[in-house]
Structure 1
């Protein structure tokens, strides 16, 4: 019962943040609605928070579907947690200082980059099946961010729109962007190693239990 309520809260937070951010972006657009929509879904933050919202929603509804089966497979929750953790980390370290949102935008900003990442990390700690987390999962966890990177670089080459300053080829040049991307890949790998290491520790720690099921 407790877990179901937590799943509901996660779903509501996720959908509220993503939908409200879209409305705010449309209201303040500097391009056409179709182009703004494409740009909206070009942010790793948005795509990842959308994944979080879908994850919590599907698990909360508990409908017997192939998607539910996939989301309940070992390592999936850890992958989702890895992605949203990187969203929070990069924002706090790199992006927070470059703009100061106000009003509703500030609330949504904190939801997307701080509150939801922390919420997912706590959920992962309590409800992940840590015994089934394995080192071999890490390469597959890197597929999504790798494909995302290729997408934004290819599209940016044609549209001249880059969602984040550290991948802006126009301003930084391709060589620097590739260096920045390499650093991000290393951050993903390091974070993945940390999550697996924590899982291994938890699985061996008899004091850890799923008391909130």
Structure 2
């Protein structure tokens, strides 16, 4: 197994450990908004952080098996995982870090899913690509996921009066402020997408023989 496949496999393993530990921690936490196990675990997988890490796990496991995957679907999922986890890392470390006092397994999972996963995923993409996989079409399809997540989160929140993140909490902030926050995050997502596109083209040119 070459270096890039090892990197992809290691990243997938780190994320898998983080997700498993988080599921165990969540299953043991009977306090809070969801006292029953089933709804509590369903709620866990409604978090953008968890979904982005699942995408990172899935795409990196597939890349470890075969780094050259030309399908538009896979490239879209790969970009969603990359951008989703990058946004997760940026938003967590600038807005959300320190809001909860964690320890033990919760702190360990928090580090793996919010810090290690974004760093490994972004560094792995910069170092190993695959190059040439990002196109305007792929970017167009990739925005479906975050927009769908925002719509689902706001509809679900209105029904059960629960929002997973403070910046989408309509009860506290109102729809106007939440709409602005969503626009900022969407702009960040698109800026990262087109930044990744241009950087990918630059890296591709630099690696071509003169």
The TM-score with structure 1 as length reference comes to 0.86
Shift of 1:73: 4.7
Shift of 1:206: 3.8
Q: 2:51 aligns with which of 26, 47, 50?
A: 47
SS in 1 for 2:39: helix
Q: Distance in 1 between matches of 2:132 and 2:70?
A: 19
Alignment of 1:50-199 (within 5 A): 50-61=54-65, 70=71, 73-74=74-75, 76-199=77-200
Conserved in 1, the CA contact under 8 Å of 2:76 and 2:139? no
State the number of aligned residues: 203
Shift of 1:56: 2.1
Conserved in 2, the CA contact under 8 Å of 1:14 and 1:52? yes
Aligned residue in 2 for 1:24: 25
Shift of 1:35: 1.3
Q: Distance in 2 between matches of 1:174 and 1:192?
A: 26
The structure-2 alpha-carbon separation of the partners of 1:151 and 1:34, relative to structure 1 and needing over 3 Å to count, comes to same
Q: Deviations over 1:127-155 (max 9, x none)?
A: 22333422332221111000001111111
Q: Deviations over 1:78-137 (max 9, x none)?
A: 332111111111101110132232222112111101111110111111222333422332
Matched, 1:201 2:205: no
The structure-2 alpha-carbon separation of the partners of 1:130 and 1:186, relative to structure 1 and needing over 3 Å to count, comes to same
The structure-2 alpha-carbon separation of the partners of 1:74 and 1:55, relative to structure 1 and needing over 3 Å to count, comes to closer
Q: Distance in 1 between matches of 2:18 and 2:197?
A: 28
The structure-2 alpha-carbon separation of the partners of 1:70 and 1:131, relative to structure 1 and needing over 3 Å to count, comes to closer
The TM-score with structure 2 as length reference comes to 0.87
Q: Distance in 2 between matches of 1:173 and 1:4?
A: 46
Conserved in 1, the CA contact under 8 Å of 2:59 and 2:77? no
SS in 2 for 1:131: coil
Conserved in 2, the CA contact under 8 Å of 1:79 and 1:141? yes
Query: Over the residues paired in the alignment, what is the CA RMSD in angstroms?
Result: 2.2
Q: Distance in 2 between matches of 1:109 and 1:93?
A: 15
Where does the alignment leave 5 or more consecutive residues of structure 1 unmatched? 63-67, 209-213
Shift of 1:44: 0.4
Conserved in 1, the CA contact under 8 Å of 2:15 and 2:53? yes
